[in-house]
Structure 1
Amino acid sequence: MNLSEVFARNLRVRMAIFDYKATDLYRITGVAVTTIMALQSGKNKGVQFSTVEKLAKGLKCEPQQLFDEDMNWTAYKWANTYQGVNKNE
């Protein structure tokens, strides 16, 4: 699995944890829906550091976690109940 695919998988999983669609994440982060969708596909060739930072902040994780091939998101279940996290942020 290449790094783009790892990032895409982690992005999709993290979004699913919060039940976010691309439009929800756009509202929270300001990252364009088309960019989010391209990153979810795993076919992108690169991503700006600022975009990764925004996505990580919106998904309540550290940027490097989005690139971790062995990331176990179940260890971060506390984030599901993180105070103030909802689709309207």
Structure 2
Amino acid sequence: MAIIINIDVMLARRKMSVTELTEKVGITMANLSILKNGKGKAIRFSTLEAICKGLNCQPGDIVEYRADT
């Protein structure tokens, strides 16, 4: 089982930098990088909501499940 975080994809679609998103969301660059690189163990709903608001997207645009093959 793999949970894939597609923040990079959404940043590219929105033509937005990581720095811009951290300013909009109000989280640190380090925490956003941990999420972006798939190293995080959890995400708060409030953080997910802020990221979705900053990127003008839905949670499913950011978080994806891929079954092991």
- TM-score, normalising length from structure 1? 0.64
Q: Which residues of 2 match residues 46-61 of structure 1 at below 5 A?
A: 46-61=42-57
Runs of 4+ in 1 over 4 A off after TM superposition: none
Q: Which residue of 1 aligns with 2:11?
A: 15
1:44 Cα deviation from its structure 2 partner: 1.2
- TM-score, normalising length from structure 2? 0.79
Give unpaired runs (5+ residues) of structure 2. none
The 1-side partners of 2:25 and 2:10 are apart by: 14
1:69 Cα deviation from its structure 2 partner: 4.4
Q: Identify the structure with the greater strand proportion.
A: 2
Q: Which residues of 2 match residues 1-89 of structure 1 at below 5 A?
A: 2-3=2-3, 6-7=4-5, 10-69=6-65
Give unpaired runs (5+ residues) of structure 1. 71-89
**Once the two structures are superposed, what CA deviation does each residue of 1:43-64 show, in whole Å capped at 9, x if it has no partner?**
2111111101000110111123
The 2-side partners of 1:68 and 1:39 are apart by: 13
| Secondary structure class of the residue paired with 1:68 | strand
| Secondary structure class of the residue paired with 2:12 | helix
Aligned residues: 66
